A and B are shown apart, each in its own frame.
Chain A
Amino acid sequence: MEPLEERALDGNAIGGLMLEVFGTEMTAATGTCGSCGTVGYVAEFAVYRPGLGTVVRCRHCDNALMVFVQVRGVTCVDTRGLASLS
Chain B
Amino acid sequence: MAGTAVRGRLNAQGGQPLQPLTTAWQTATVESLADETPKVRTLTFELPHWPGHRAGQHLDVRLTADDGYQASREYSIATAPGEPVAITVERLDDGEVSPYLTEDVHPGDEIEIRGPVGGYFVWDPVDGGPLLLVAGGSGIVPLRAILRHRAREESPVPVRLLYSSRSWAEVIYRAELDQHVEGVTVIHTLTRQQPAGWQGYARRVDQRMLTEVAWSAAQAPLAYVCGPTSFVETVAAGLVALGYQEGRVKTERFGATGS
Chain A contacts to B: CB under 8 angstroms: 1, 3-13, 15-16, 19-21, 23, 25, 27-28, 41-44, 73-77
Whether B117 and A19, one on each chain, are in contact in the complex, defined by CB atoms closer than 8 angstroms, is: yes
Whether A25 and B5, one on each chain, are in contact in the complex, defined by CB atoms closer than 8 angstroms, is: no
Which of B34-42, B88-96, B152-160, B248-256 contacts the other chain? B248-256
**Cβ contacts B179-214/A at 8 Å (1 or 0 each):** 000000000000000000000000000000000000
A interface, over-half SS: mixed
How distant is A19 from chain B, measured CB to nearest CB, in Å? 5
Question: Which of B114, B240, B251 is within 8 Å of A44, CB to CB?
Answer: B251
Question: Which of A4, A6, A28 is within 8 Å of B119, CB to CB?
Answer: A28
B98 at the interface (CB under 8 A from A): no
Cα separation A36 to B139 with both chains bound (whole Å) = 31
CB closest residue in chain B, given A3: B233
Q: List 6 A-B contacts (CB under 8 A).
A: A1-B246, A3-B237, A8-B253, A25-B118, A74-B5, A75-B1
Chain B contacts to A: CB under 8 angstroms: 1-2, 4-5, 8, 19-20, 22-23, 58-60, 72, 74, 114-115, 117-121, 228-230, 232-233, 236-237, 240, 246, 250-256
* Nearest 3 pairs of A and B residues by beta carbon: A43-B120, A15-B117, A28-B119
Whether B233 and A1, one on each chain, are in contact in the complex, defined by CB atoms closer than 8 angstroms, is: yes
Cα separation A12 to B114 with both chains bound (whole Å) = 14
CB closest residue in chain A, given B115: A16
Whether A41 and B120, one on each chain, are in contact in the complex, defined by CB atoms closer than 8 angstroms, is: yes
Cα separation A75 to B204 with both chains bound (whole Å) = 40
**Interfacial chain A residues near B4, Cβ < 8 Å:** 20-21, 23, 74-75
**Interfacial chain B residues near A6, Cβ < 8 Å:** 228-230, 255-256
CB closest residue in chain B, given A16: B60
Whether A7 and B255, one on each chain, are in contact in the complex, defined by CB atoms closer than 8 angstroms, is: yes
How distant is B47 from chain A, measured CB to nearest CB, in Å? 15
How distant is A66 from chain B, measured CB to nearest CB, in Å? 13
The interface centre, meaning the residue of B228, B233, B253 with most chain A CB atoms within 10 A of its CB, is: B253
How distant is B76 from chain A, measured CB to nearest CB, in Å? 9
Whether A9 and B119, one on each chain, are in contact in the complex, defined by CB atoms closer than 8 angstroms, is: no
Whether A20 and B118, one on each chain, are in contact in the complex, defined by CB atoms closer than 8 angstroms, is: no
Cα separation A2 to B74 with both chains bound (whole Å) = 25
Question: Which of B1, B22, B255 is within 8 Å of A21, CB to CB?
Answer: B1
Question: Which of A7, A15, A73 is within 8 Å of B229, CB to CB?
Answer: A7
Whether A43 and B230, one on each chain, are in contact in the complex, defined by CB atoms closer than 8 angstroms, is: no
